[in-house]
Amino acid sequence: MSEVLEGVRKTAPTPLVQLSMQQAINRALGEILERDDRALIFGEDVGVLGGVFRVTDGLQQRFGANRVFDTPLAESGILGTAIGLAMAGFHPIPEVQFDGFAYPAVNQIITQLARMNYRSRGRLPMPVTLRVPSFGGIRAPEHHGESLESLFAHVPGLKVVSPSNPQQAYRLLKHAASMPDPVIFMEPKARYWNKAAVDLTDDQGSVSLEGSVIARPGNHATLIAWGAMVSRCLQVAELAAEDGIELEVLDLRWLKPIDEAGLAASVSRTRRAIVVHEGPRTNGLGAEVAALVSQSCFDTLRAPVERVTGFDVPYPSGDLEDEYIPNIDRILFGVQRVLEYRRG
């Protein structure tokens, strides 16, 4: 008995800190700069101001203007600088201030960043982590609520990841920054201020940082989402549970590469799937997810894969985004369609 009690006394509690996603990313960036003297953070207003969302707040004061610095308002220049720095042996972490501002940098991203490692036969790896505040939900004007995941995920040579909560943001950003590949880190800005308990221990050996995760187990259908839509789907699952419907919520996390095995395992259990994302429906990433599910689970699916998405129109002004972004009712209707589907 004494040995058992001694073992209990030696077990330290896991340190948990209440952080918003914005704070968790800030903490991760600080740790990256501390551990890697080749890491550099730069972008529009990230230095003195600390970013428009204050994600980089205080980092220039801690690490100096040579490692955290402001750039001109030129996204193609920001990415060109990142590529050149990576070629010189640095680990750049540039920021594009808003998702819709990334378009001027797409040429650099596709023709240089994504290809340089292949073009040089591995002699010039691109350890660049591009932070992109992404998606809608903050009632901002045009070009401030885009969903670019299908564009980036289509490009060979890029990895794409989108955290859904502060814990993921903290760990996945550190993981992305340690990769030798270019990673597009899509931060759901509508979730920047939502707080949760974050485990700040550096021992991540037992924590999976690859693939998808089940945010809520269930058995009637699988809701597949990423970014801010994971929280929305969890709300839907709570409401559905009141009627005895247990929905599984699968947080995809990595949008390139997609966790095909995780998708198949979840949908094979529930036999029904609904993909939820903010981007337009046509050629959205949900189409690829639906194709993978259909391919892997064709014999077990009880209904066609449903998609609940944004619309095939430019992202609207802030006063209309509640109609554009999938809301609880639209997702519930999608669930109802797959549950009530009957083969003819």
So what's the pLDDT on residue 128? 98
pLDDT digits (tens, 9 = 90+) for 299-336: 999 999 999 999 999 998 888 999 999 999 999 999 99
- The one-character DSSP state at 320 is G
Amino acid, single-letter form, for residue 13:
P
pLDDT digits (tens, 9 = 90+) for 96-112: 999 999 999 999 999 99
Distances (CA, A) of 55 to 20, 263, 268, 301: 10, 32, 39, 42
pLDDT band at 140 (very low <50, low <70, confident <90, very high): confident
The answer to whether the beta carbons of residues 131 and 94 sit under 8 Å apart is: yes
Would you please indicate which residues are annotated as catalytic (active-site) residues?
144
Place of tokens 């989108």: 162
Distance CA 28, CA 22 (A): 10
Distance CA 206, CA 198 (A): 15
Distance CA 195, CA 235 (A): 16
So what's the pLDDT on residue 7? 41
What residue spans define the domains of the chain? 16-199, 213-340
In this structure, of 12-26, 107-121, 230-244, 326-340, the range with the lowest mean pLDDT score is: 12-26
> Region 111-140: what's the mean pLDDT?
95
So what's the pLDDT on residue 238? 98
266 has a pLDDT exceeding 70: yes
| 3-state class (DSSP) for residue 95 | strand
b/e for 281-305, b at 16 or more Cβ within 10 A? eeebbbbbbbebbeebbeeebebeb
Tokens representing 332? 């519930």
Which CATH code of 3.40.50.920, 1.10.3080.10, 3.40.50.410, 3.40.50.1860 fits the domain covering 213-340? 3.40.50.920
> Region 178-201: what's the mean pLDDT?
95
Distance CA 51, CA 23 (A): 12
197 has a pLDDT exceeding 60: yes
So what's the pLDDT on residue 205? 55
pLDDT digits (tens, 9 = 90+) for 199-229: 998 655 556 799 999 999 999 999 999 999 9
Where in the chain does DSSP place strands (E)? Answer: 16-20, 39-43, 68-70, 91-95, 129-134, 159-161, 183-188, 195-199, 213-216, 221-225, 247-251, 254-256, 273-280, 306-310
Same fold, 16-199 and 213-340: yes
Torsion sign over Cα 252, 161, 180, 108: positive
Q: Is CATH 3.30.70.100 what the domain over 16-199 is classified as, yes or no?
A: no
- The one-character DSSP state at 14 is P
Distance CA 172, CA 182 (A): 14
pLDDT band at 191 (very low <50, low <70, confident <90, very high): very high
The answer to whether the beta carbons of residues 252 and 229 sit under 8 Å apart is: no
What proportion of the chain, given as a percentage, has pLDDT over 90?
A: 88
Q: How many CA atoms lie within 13 A of 328 on its CB side?
A: 9
- The one-character DSSP state at 5 is H
pLDDT, the chain, mean: 93
Give helix 166-177 / helix 21-35 axis angle, nearest 10°: 30
In this structure, of 7-11, 173-177, 305-309, the range with the lowest mean pLDDT score is: 7-11
231 has a pLDDT exceeding 60: yes
